[in-house]
Chains A and B, each alone.
Chain A
Amino acid sequence: DTGVSQDPRHKITKRGQNVTFRCDPISEHNRLYWYRQTLGQGPEFLTYFQNEAQLEKSRLLSDRFSAERPKGSFSTLEIQRTEQGDSAMYLCASSLAQGADRGAFFGQGTRLTVV
Chain B
Amino acid sequence: AQSVTQPDIHITVSEGASLELRCNYSYGATPYLFWYVQSPGQGLQLLLKYFSGDTLVQGIKGFEAEFKRSQSSFNLRKPSVHWSDAAEYFCAVGQYGNKLVFGAGTILRVKS
Binding site for B on A (CB under 8 A): 4, 6, 31, 33, 35, 40-45, 48, 56, 91, 93, 95-98, 100-109, 111
Measured in the bound complex, the distance between the Cα atoms of B34 and A69 in whole Å is: 26
The answer to whether A101 and B49 touch (CB under 8 A), given A42-B105, A109-B42, is yes
B41 cross-chain contacts in A, Cβ below 8 A: 111
Measured in the bound complex, the distance between the Cα atoms of B99 and A98 in whole Å is: 14
Contact A101 B43 (CB under 8 A): no
A48 cross-chain contacts in B, Cβ below 8 A: 98-99
Measured in the bound complex, the distance between the Cα atoms of B97 and A23 in whole Å is: 19
Contact A97 B97 (CB under 8 A): yes
A56 cross-chain contacts in B, Cβ below 8 A: 98-99
Binding site for A on B (CB under 8 A): 4, 32, 34, 36, 41-46, 49, 51, 90, 92, 96-105
Considering the complex, give the chain A residue whose CB is closest to the CB of B51.
A101
Contact A42 B43 (CB under 8 A): no
The answer to whether A104 and B43 touch (CB under 8 A), given A41-B105, A42-B92, A42-B105, is no
Among candidates B36, B101, B104, residue contacting A106 with C-beta atoms closer than 8 Å: B36
Measured in the bound complex, the distance between the Cα atoms of B25 and A42 in whole Å is: 14
B4 cross-chain contacts in A, Cβ below 8 A: 42
How far apart are A54's CB and chain B's nearest CB, in angstroms? Answer: 13
A33 cross-chain contacts in B, Cβ below 8 A: 99-100
How far apart are A75's CB and chain B's nearest CB, in angstroms? Answer: 15
Contact A106 B97 (CB under 8 A): no
Considering the complex, give the chain A residue whose CB is closest to the CB of B35.
A103
B105 cross-chain contacts in A, Cβ below 8 A: 40-42
Considering the complex, give the chain A residue whose CB is closest to the CB of B94.
A104
Contact A109 B43 (CB under 8 A): yes
The answer to whether A31 and B44 touch (CB under 8 A), given A42-B90, A43-B102, is no
How far apart are B47's CB and chain A's nearest CB, in angstroms? Answer: 10
Contact B97 A42 (CB under 8 A): no
The answer to whether A106 and B99 touch (CB under 8 A), given A42-B105, A43-B90, A101-B49, is no
